[in-house]
A and B are shown apart, each in its own frame.
Chain A
Amino acid sequence: ETGVTQSPTHLIKTRGQQVTLRCSSQSGHNTVSWYQQALGQGPQFIFQYYREEENGRGNFPPRFSGLQFPNYSSELNVNALELDDSALYLCASSLGGYQETQYFGPGTRLLVL
């Protein structure tokens, strides 16, 4: 059984650019959640995908968008990058049930210059 994987591990972009982060869910999991963690803070919920449909969204602008594929892997896309988007982006996978435990990947560290 493989755990949650994310790519790339690190990324440097400039303001205004676009970025795509990728996540492979744990075997058997059909739900993927994305979180943003700024330095020294707890993770903030961005959105969740369940069986290829968005299933809840946090307080993030529309330039944060996502996709989930038939194999339940997922992408997070951020357009028009801002300096404040610099953070650790975490992906978590789970089974699609009430209070199912979310298992996190190692994260992608994004730096926006």
Chain B
Amino acid sequence: NAGVTQTPKFQVLKTGQSMTLQCAQDMNHEYMSWYRQDPGMGLRLIHYSVGAGITDQGEVPNGYNVSRSTTEDFPLRLLSAAPSQTSVYFCASSYSRDATYGYTFGSGTRLTVV
């Protein structure tokens, strides 16, 4: 089925470890983004990309890196995990940056940093 695929679904890290959250879409969407969702808070934008080779920061980018070498993939890297990065992470994609066509979200990655 077409959509946004995130891996892994669950991950436990120790403080200071690094890891990459994978995101892939097969809908030829130009726009991709990463959000984190914490209890009692709305989804917050971490980084986004409007096309291959182009990335930009969202509202909470510190501690995260992204790259967009292909249209399909948009990995999120945690350089040195901290307990404050414990959260559920969602990748989303869309045809356009103005979200007229809506966003397709992945099923999420639940990350715990101990």
Query: Does B associate with A?
Result: no
B residues engaging A (CB < 8 A)?
A: none
A residues engaging B (CB < 8 A)?
A: none
